Each structure stands twice: as structure tokens, then as C-alpha cells.
């Protein structure tokens, strides 16, 4: 249950569904950590602006918590969460018809791990995507990633990418394309 006053929504996350709460993130942390956790504070904010026109709703969660066996050693974790559009309207209806969210979840949970495994066979340690902590294709559909901002990554939508950033992105895209093409040629392997 959510402790009163422990959950904070930024102004831009005021329409956050009730199920995105401490209990939800506690289950994720309990599964990832070596011990059960006690959440001390959950800070939620929007992961995008209304004008971004994403096919999903993004949230950023910053969680202060401690392992139950070490209650005085506070830890901090940040996640990015994507959900389907939940507010009634044309965007929700049209996106739901196209099964975009289901395809994206399968890409992150099935296809990219297969591609990663194949790259590792060749000794390639390229990181293709953030770590997935949770996903669900049951309602409410969602996927929870590690927040790469805490790892030093940045969002470059406000500026053009540098030549080096563009080369890195294209190199990763080429690897995904090459391995997925190889997998598609193999009998019995269907990418999506």
C-alpha cells in the first residue's frame, strides 16, 4: 500500500494512473534485489512532454529505498516506464488497432535479447538497449527500463546529433539489421 505523502508527482505527471505506485515498483525491486525492499520515497515525473507525440506515455521514476536486511543503507534507483495511452480518445483507439505497443514489447523482450546473444557469440559486447526490469502485455500494458540518464546518456532531441553520435547510432542499427536478417533466413526463426 502507498504511504500517504511518500509519493510525489511532478506537475507534468499529475494524470499518472493509480496503479503506478510504490507497490508496483516494490515488486520490481524485490525481484531485482537480493532481499525485499522498503521504499522510502517515490518521485514520479513525466518522461516526455505532451507535444512529443510518442506512441506511448512515458514516466520517469526515482526511488529511494533500503533492503529490509539493511534498513540504514539507502539506495537510489531510476526507471523509465512506458505505458499505452490510457486516456480515451482517437490516439488511444488508433494506436491500439495497430498493435504498436505489443510489437515494441516483443522487440525489447524477445528480439533484442536474441540479437544480443548472437553478437556475444562473435565477441561483440555492444549494448543495444537499456535493461528491462518488467514488462506486461496484460492490461495495463507497460514496460519498465533502466533510466540511462543515470548512466551518463543524454537526450539529444533538442539539438542535432554530432557526427560521432550519428556514426554510433548507425553502427548499432547496422548490427541489428545484419543479425536480424541472418535470423530471418534461418528456418523456424520469425523475428516478429
In this prediction the pTM is 0.82
* pLDDT tens digits for range 28-58: 999 999 999 999 999 999 887 665 656 788 9
In the numeric block, which cell numbers belong to residue 168? 554510433
- Look at the chain and count its residues: 192
* pLDDT tens digits for range 55-77: 788 999 999 999 999 999 999 99
In degrees and rounded to multiples of 5, residue 164 shows phi and psi of -65, -40
The HSE-up count of residue 188 (CA atoms within 13 Å, CB side) is 0
The HSE-up count of residue 142 (CA atoms within 13 Å, CB side) is 22
Asked if the model's pLDDT at residue 22 lies above 90, the reply is: yes
For the chain, which residues make up each domain, given as ranges?
7-185
Name the most confidently modeled range: 29-43, 100-114, 171-185.
Answer: 29-43
In the numeric block, which cell numbers belong to residue 97? 488497432
Give the H/E segment covering residue 90: helix 90-98
Amino acid at each position: 500500500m502507498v504511504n500517504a505523502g511518500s509519493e510525489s508527482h511532478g506537475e507534468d505527471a499529475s494524470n499518472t494512473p493509480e496503479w503506478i505506485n510504490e507497490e508496483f515498483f516494490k515488486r520490481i525491486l524485490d525481484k531485482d534485489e537480493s532481499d525485499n525492499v522498503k521504499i522510502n520515497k517515490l518521485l514520479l515525473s513525466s518522461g516526455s512532454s505532451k507535444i512529443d507525440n510518442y506512441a506511448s506515455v512515458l514516466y520517469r521514476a526515482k526511488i529511494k529505498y533500503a533492503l529490509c536486511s539493511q534498513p540504514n543503507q539507502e539506495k537510489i534507483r531510476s526507471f523509465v516506464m512506458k505505458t499505452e495511452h490510457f486516456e480515451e480518445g482517437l490516439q488511444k483507439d488508433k494506436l491500439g488497432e495497430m498493435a504498436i505497443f505489443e510489437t515494441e514489447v516483443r522487440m525489447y523482450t524477445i528480439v533484442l535479447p536474441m540479437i544480443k546473444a548472437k553478437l556475444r557469440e562473435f565477441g561483440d559486447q555492444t549494448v543495444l538497449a537499456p535493461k528491462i526490469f518488467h514488462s506486461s502485455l496484460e492490461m495495463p500494458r507497460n514496460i519498465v527500463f533502466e533510466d540511462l540518464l543515470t548512466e551518463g546518456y543524454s537526450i539529444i532531441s533538442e539539438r542535432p546529433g554530432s557526427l560521432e553520435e550519428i556514426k554510433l547510432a548507425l553502427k548499432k542499427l547496422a548490427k541489428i539489421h545484419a543479425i536480424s536478417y541472418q535470423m530471418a533466413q534461418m528456418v523456424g526463426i520469425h523475428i516478429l
